[in-house]
Amino acid sequence: MRVGRILLVTLPVAGVLAGALLLVPPALAQVPSAPLASDSTFTLGARDGTGFVSVTLSAGWTRIGTGPFLPDDRATLVAPDGVYRVELELVPGSPSTPDGADSVPGQVGKELAAVIDAASWSTETLLAGNEVRYTSCPDGGDAVTVAIVDPPRALTAAHGTGTVPDDVRFVLVASAPADEAPRYRTVTADLVSSAVFSRERPAPSPIGEPQS
């Protein structure tokens, strides 16, 4: 009888707790954080800790998601005007794959595989040395730009000895309403151009750490 009473009390509590554990992280992942108060760097770290990438954001950018459950290697950000949304992901992989011959790595790539299947890809070597392969394609009413950024080859040549990892790739999937997308190309360009790869987690800036 006593055991029954205990069960009667604890089972609902356990149910509530389990429900909270199941429902709260996804819910919190959709909650916008507070917008950045100043220009900052934003860092993603590879799951295995082998590398990091940082991008520079201006004041007003908002990360979608809050709380302790956000992944370290992925993030969704929204531009200060709320129109442009970008998913960032640091994924394992080698930049040695020939241009256009591979698929988009990472989770976002899988989600967009059908959309970008027939896309024409461009490749640029950026002033910072990063090499970026990118394409744009329609996705419903949006235009989606997918960019895959590889670390500077010159700095990754000495495997394992350089300060830049050679086994991670930075994937960016940006979307904006199709009719406004051309205006936001510079936003994508600035994100990609500002990407800095490192083996060590960079010193924190105002929001330099993943929000964990």
Partner 1 sequence: MRRTRLVAALAVSGLLLAACATLHTTPGWTPRPAAEPDLVLAVDAADPPPPAVADGLDTRLLYTADPGAGVGARWAEIPGNPRFNEELRARVKDAIDAQAAATGVRFRPAADAPGGSRGCAPGAASRPAAEIAADPALTPQTGGPTVTIVCEIAAASGTVLAESLRIVAAVAGEVLTDTTRLYYADTAGEFLTTADTLLTDDGLRTLLARVVQSLKVGAGALEPQMKEDPASFPIEQLRAWFADFSFGADGSLTVRLPEGFSTAELERLADVPPTSTVAVTVPAADASALLSADGKRVQSALASGAPLTLPTAPARGQEDVDCAFFACIALTYDDGPGPYTADVLDTLASRRSAATFFLQGVYVSRYRSLLLRMRDEGHQLANHTWNHPDLRKLPAPEIADQIARTNALIRSITGTTPSMFRPPYGAYDDTVLAAAGLPAILWSRDTNDWQRPGDAALYERAVTLAKPGDIVLMHDVHQSTARMAAPIIDGLLDRGFTLVTVEQILGGTPAAGTATKR
Q: Which is nearer to partner 1, 45 or 188 (CB)?
A: 188
**Of these, 34, 101, 114, 118, which contacts partner 1 (CB under 8 A)?**
34
**Of these, 137, 155, 178, 189, which contacts partner 1 (CB under 8 A)?**
189
**Of these, 74, 184, 196, 197, which contacts partner 1 (CB under 8 A)?**
184
Name the one residue in this structure whose structure tokens are 């059908």. Answer: 114
Residues 6+ apart with CB under 8 A from 116: 104, 135, 137, 144, 146
* Strand partners for 124: 132
Number of residues that bind partner 1 (CB under 8 A): 51
- Residue 134 touches partner 1, criterion: CB under 8 A: yes
The tokens describing 92, both together, are 């394992």
CA distance 209 to 70: 12
Neighbour tally for 23: CB within 10 Å: 10
**Of these, 113, 186, 200, 204, which contacts partner 1 (CB under 8 A)?**
186
Residue 39: half-sphere exposure toward Cβ, Cα within 13 Å: 5
CA distance 66 to 85: 16
- Residue 11 touches partner 1, criterion: CB under 8 A: no
Site string for partner 1, 67-106 (x = CB under 8 A): x----------xxxxx-x--------------x-------
Q: Which is nearer to partner 1, 79 or 112 (CB)?
A: 79
CA distance 143 to 51: 30
**Of these, 121, 167, 199, 208, which contacts partner 1 (CB under 8 A)?**
121
Tell me the H-state helices in the chain: 2-29, 106-112, 153-156, 185-193
- Residue 132 touches partner 1, criterion: CB under 8 A: yes
Neighbour tally for 45: CB within 10 Å: 22
Residues near partner 1 (CB under 8 A): 9, 13, 16-17, 19-20, 23-24, 27-28, 30-32, 34-35, 59-60, 62, 64, 67, 78-82, 84, 99, 120-127, 132, 134-136, 147, 182-190, 192-193
